[in-house]
Amino acid sequence: QVQLVESGGGLVQPGGSLRLSCAASGSIFSLYAMGWYRQAPGKQRELVATKPRGGNTNYADSVKGRFTISRDYVKNTVYLQMDSLKPEDTAVYYCNAQDRGYTYWGQGTQVTVSS
């Protein structure tokens, strides 16, 4: 139905920045919400940030003030600007979207914060 293609992951030094993007395609009706989750080694997947259409952004406490989520409604794309990155931000980041009552996931992109 809906496919999510993610890009922008990679290796960055502590204190650096990285910008992730996720473009939705396929049988799209209306992407009510798009967001980002992450999963570190040995940890559970956790919510990073979400942006409902016409609603307020939501952030995990651990990333508030450092990460910024935004959406391009014409391109069906969600972005995650990550600043002041820390080693504990290292994880696989997954794009998430809600459409017609269904939840869709991207395949994930690796973000590694290391010197």
Q: What is the mean pLDDT of the chain?
A: 96
Angle (CA) 56 83 61, round 5°:
50
- Please name which of 103, 85, 107, 81 lies closest in space to residue 94, comparing C-alpha atoms: 107
Calculate mean pLDDT across residues 83-101. 97
State pLDDT tens for residues 26-50.
999 999 999 999 999 999 999 999 9
* Residues constituting the chain: 115
pLDDT on residue 55: 87
User: What are 67-84's pLDDT values in tens digits?
Assistant: 999 999 999 999 999 999
Going by their DSSP bridges, the two strands 77-82 and 91-99 should be labelled as unpaired
> Which structure tokens are listed for 86?
């820390």
Q: Fill in the amino acid letter for 29.
A: F
